[in-house]
Amino acid sequence: MGHVTLFLGGDVMTGRGIDQVLPHPNPPRIYESHIKDAKGYVTLAEQTNGTFQKPVSFHYIWGDALDILERLIMDSRDLIYKGS
């Protein structure tokens, strides 16, 4: 018997600062007790992981997930095409 691979992607919260590095960011004002500007999250991320080129593409925030999903979709198309 074969196996089935499921790709589960629900309501994804991408992070408080990610929109600040996209091509068309929202105003950075946020309403939290410890930080008022979303750019502060970008600074924290760069302090932890190193700097990166900005702006980033819209695909950037998904990391490897889009490639994996595309591969799964192609596999399922092949499965349907072959009638298996």
What is the model's pLDDT at position 27? 93
What is the model's pLDDT at position 21? 94
What is the model's pLDDT at position 80? 55
Name the residue ranges covered by the structural domains of the chain: 18-82
CA distances from 1 to 29, 53, 56, 74, 84 (A): 54, 47, 43, 21, 12
The Cα diameter of the chain in Å comes to 57
pLDDT tens over the chain, length 84 residues: 687 777 676 655 567 788 899 999 999 999 989 899 999 999 998 999 999 999 999 888 877 877 887 877 766 555 555 554
Cα–Cα dist 68/1, whole Å: 23
| CA-based nearest residue to 38, from 25, 50, 23 | 25
| CA-based nearest residue to 42, from 7, 71, 18 | 18
What is the model's pLDDT at position 74? 66
Q: Taking the complete model, does pTM exceed 0.75, yes or no?
A: no
Query: DSSP assignment, residue 18?
Result: G
